[in-house]
Chains A and B, each alone.
Chain A
Amino acid sequence: MIPRAVLALACLAVAATGLAAPRPGTVGPPGKAAVDTCLDCHRSLDETRLSQPAEQAATDIHRLQGITCAGCHGGDPRAEDPEAAMNPALGFVGAIAPTAVPALCSSCHSDPSFMLRYAPNIPTDQAAQYATSRHGLALAKGDTRVATCTSCHGAHGVLPADDARSPVYPSRIVATCGRCHADAALMRAYGISGNEVADYQQSVHYAALTQKNDLSAPTCNDCHGSHGATPPGVSSVSNVCGTCHLTQRELFDLSPHKEAFASIEQPACETCHGNHAVHTPDDTWIGVGKDQVCGNCHVADDPGGQVAAQLAARLTGANSAIAATRERVARAERAGMLMDEALVQLEEAHQALVLARNQVHAAALAPLARETGSVLAAAAKADRLAQAAEDEIRFRRTGLAVSLVVILLAAVALLLKTRSLER
């Protein structure tokens, strides 16, 4: 048994260093929910400000893992008497100042040996990253409007990041960041437009995330970082895009644009695709006309503009060949012809078109023309099969016409026979 005086001294020492580590007795063994007299009183308090934290704590990962209220707020979690429980001498702090939050959380979360016992699979470098982030740098200067740990993770009802209800779950991050970043008035002070969230919500990535439930689709933190949130540099975003869109990135790296964009400090992908509002790309984007991306740098007469026109022409040709053949094959199919082989060819044409679209990133005519050539070849094959099906329908018609003649001849013979009988 440790003498009381020693314990009290130790407590004071901890309080003096300012919430550096959880005091003994405020943190239980992992895997067992904390027992805590704070909750018993606070649940029944009338003031929401005081009762809500207790209610939210019901599902809080920290409480479920044995961390008492006192783990953060100090005081004695076993004392029945409020005075004793909230004794400032035992390090009790009521509301925790935003500027104190990172240090408080990191007192455990940056301690690998501590975290190893509770959640061995989560990293411990968040505080270090945070300190380098725009949020962290501003906070260090005393700006309390910026996000701290609790702004995103919540304070009392903290859920693990992989819990779908957590505000930092991939599908909910946009809304979480948007709480501040969609507020144009607030963002003006930082030179940010505030449209970014709305733009992102129109993007293919947001659609993939929310409609296809594709959690690997990028959301805010995938490009900006989560704890070390900063505006990404010109080259770093393209690296992010390239982790999924590897083929396009490899082709782009071979293209003349790589050097050219770098020399004028233009980002690789966003120059054409945009950053937040990444729409489904369309073949009509290629060209120097209005609303066409190449026109940002090229004019119709320069070599780039000419290549763009060629690329667009090839893709348009391939698109219309597929559309026309698809329609023709569908018509034959509705008429009851077996068009499986033609559908296989159409599929091949489609695949070649996808590959041709990849080649747009290389910005060279030859490789794209090779792919659109395959598109046209496969579409032509399907078209020939549709032609054969139409010929077959015509042939059947001819066959039936012949049998019609036979039938009519028999009818005439019958009429003649009847007449000869009745004469």
Chain B
Amino acid sequence: MGIFKRLWAALDERLGLAPLVEFARHKEVPRHRYSWAYYFGGLTLFFLGVQVVTGILLLLYYRPTAEAAFESVQFIVTRVPFGWLVRSIHSWSANLMILSAFAHMFSVYLLGAYAKPRELTWWSGFALLLLAMGFGFSGYLLPWNELSFFATRIGTDIAGKTPLVGGWLLRFLRGGDDVTGATLTRFFGFHVALLPMITSALLALHLLLIQKQGMHVPEKLAPEAKSRPPIPFVPNFALREATVWLGGLALLAVLAAFFPWELGVKADPFAPAPAGIKPEWYFLFMFETLKLLPPHVLGIEGELVGLALFTFGGLVWFLVPLLDRGSERGKRSPLFLLLGWLVLAYLVSFTALSLAGVFQ
């Protein structure tokens, strides 16, 4: 026991850690009927942690070339002990992370937590979600199987439709005119170097802001939160959050056990695209909407109109702390609340309908 105390004293003396401990001791989480919404951010962080650990493990064997990528993933899942598990967990955790991030974002939006002074937290969170989708998009190609190859071809094709910079963007993403081994190398670079670097910085900012500003209490729940004792962060909230994390881990174990991520068939760039190629589920709403649009809207290409609408919608969503003027005074506009529910309904219904095969 003595040695730990001495070590702590020595570290505290040099680094001044006592205030941090003091901060943690006094950190509290408000208690009200929507307190459960506070767990989603932490859960997303947990899945991110799983991604980092399993991702680093996969890096030990993965090879980012068109000739060897599929074989190396095959090697991982067939020959490396527990490789099947690590790979399956990495794939499932990626999906759960994005799902949990979406849940986090919508709970924050619907409870109005984006309002001043938390604009920066909202913006960094928004950027983190886009980065997560970037991770998903780039990581999907890495096993170099048939599905991922053609999904990437379609996805980059859509990006190439952007006015003015489309052609440049397409070549930047693909590392050439078509999806080739050059694309794989590039996506690998994005996936394991570029995106992690940006994500780390933004995540640090996001977490720091939350510590600085404390948890947000929705205006209508303020009386309830005042009337009930807050949850001390250490140890009570931490223990609860840990329980949620264990739930996440259990879910991963169930998914890996009952729905092991398949290896698929090696991509053949010259084979015709198989029927029913779809992107990852979190891009489905966009994919299906673009497909539903007529070829031409008011003389402009339908896909372009769709992309413009998505960009505009994303911008509105991003700028909501500024657009919802009443929010800083604790009076959120019901219009924005309605918008939130509508967007949620749109995303959920389009994704569900697409998964159910209604759009085929």
Contacts and interface: CB of A to CB of B under 8 A. Distances in A.
Q: Do chains A and B touch in the complex (CB under 8 A)?
A: yes
Interface of A: 333-338, 393, 396-397, 400-401, 403-404, 407-408, 410-411, 414-415, 417-418, 421-422
A97 B235 CA distance: 113
27 contacts: A334-B262, A335-B260, A336-B77, A336-B78, A336-B84, A336-B87, A336-B263, A396-B84, A396-B85, A396-B257, A396-B260, A397-B257, A397-B258, A400-B85, A400-B256, A400-B257, A404-B254, A404-B257, A407-B253, A410-B246, A411-B243, A411-B246, A414-B242, A415-B243, A418-B236, A418-B243, A421-B239
Top 3 nearest A-B pairs (CB, nearest first) are: A400-B257, A338-B78, A336-B77
A411 B236 contact: no
Of A417, A418, A421, most B-chain CB atoms within 10 Å: A418
Contacts of A334: 262-265
B325 interface: no
Contacts of A422: 236
Interface in B256-290: 256-258, 260-265
Which of A333, A336, A337, A415 is the most central at the interface, judged by chain B CB atoms within 10 Å of its CB?
A: A336
Contacts of A407: 246, 249-250, 253
B16 interface: no
A265 to B, nearest CB: 51
Interface of B: 74, 77-79, 84-85, 87, 235-236, 239-240, 242-243, 246-247, 249-250, 253-254, 256-258, 260-265
Given A393-B260, A404-B254, 18 more contacts: A336-B74, A336-B77, A336-B78, A336-B261, A396-B84, A396-B257, A396-B260, A400-B256, A403-B253, A407-B246, A411-B246, A411-B250, A414-B239, A414-B246, A418-B240, A418-B243, A421-B236, A422-B236
A186 B257 CA distance: 74
Contacts of B250: 404, 407-408, 411
Contacts of A403: 253
A418 B239 contact: yes
A417 B236 CA distance: 9
A42 to B, nearest CB: 51
Contacts of B78: 336-338
A3 B84 CA distance: 98
Contacts of A400: 85, 253-254, 256-257
Nearest to A409: B246
Contacts of A411: 243, 246-247, 250
B334 to A, nearest CB: 36
B264 A401 contact: no
Contacts of B253: 400, 403-404, 407
B27 to A, nearest CB: 16
A338 B262 CA distance: 13
Nearest to B83: A336
B51 to A, nearest CB: 18
Nearest to B247: A411
Contacts of B243: 411, 414-415, 418
Nearest to A338: B78
Nearest to A422: B236
A338 B76 CA distance: 10
Contacts of A401: 257
Interface hub of A335, A337, A414 (most chain B Cβ within 10 A): A414
Nearest to A331: B262
Contacts of B240: 414, 418
A403 B243 CA distance: 16
A421 B249 CA distance: 24
Contacts of A393: 260
Contacts of B254: 400, 404
A407 B244 CA distance: 11
A335 B262 contact: yes
Contacts of A404: 250, 253-254, 257
A118 B74 CA distance: 62
A404 B255 CA distance: 11
A408 B85 CA distance: 19
Contacts of B256: 400
A6 B263 CA distance: 90
A406 B249 CA distance: 11
Nearest to A394: B257
A36 B79 CA distance: 76
Contacts of A397: 257-258
B263 A417 contact: no
A335 B261 CA distance: 7
Nearest to A421: B236
Nearest to A411: B246
Question: Could you say which of B239, B254, B261, B262 has the most chain A C-beta atoms within 10 Å of its C-beta?
Answer: B239
A414 B78 CA distance: 36
B100 to A, nearest CB: 17
Nearest to A415: B243
B242 A335 contact: no
Contacts of B77: 336
Nearest to B77: A336
Contacts of A396: 84-85, 257, 260
B266 to A, nearest CB: 11
A262 B243 CA distance: 87
Which among B78, B84, B249, B257 has the highest number of chain A CB atoms within 10 Å? B257
Contacts of B84: 336, 396
A85 to B, nearest CB: 59
A417 B239 contact: yes
Nearest to A404: B253
A144 B246 CA distance: 96
A87 B261 CA distance: 89
A404 B249 CA distance: 8
A408 B253 CA distance: 11
A393 B239 CA distance: 34
A397 B256 CA distance: 8
Nearest to B88: A336
A66 B246 CA distance: 93
B257 A336 contact: no
Nearest to B261: A336
Contacts of A417: 239
B161 to A, nearest CB: 33
Contacts of A335: 260, 262-263
A356 B256 CA distance: 44
Contacts of B239: 414, 417-418, 421
Nearest to B263: A336
A407 B246 CA distance: 6
A101 B289 CA distance: 76
B333 to A, nearest CB: 37
A421 B77 CA distance: 43
B241 to A, nearest CB: 10
Contacts of B261: 336
A396 B74 CA distance: 17
Q: Which of A338, A407, A421 is the most central at the interface, judged by chain B CB atoms within 10 Å of its CB? A: A407
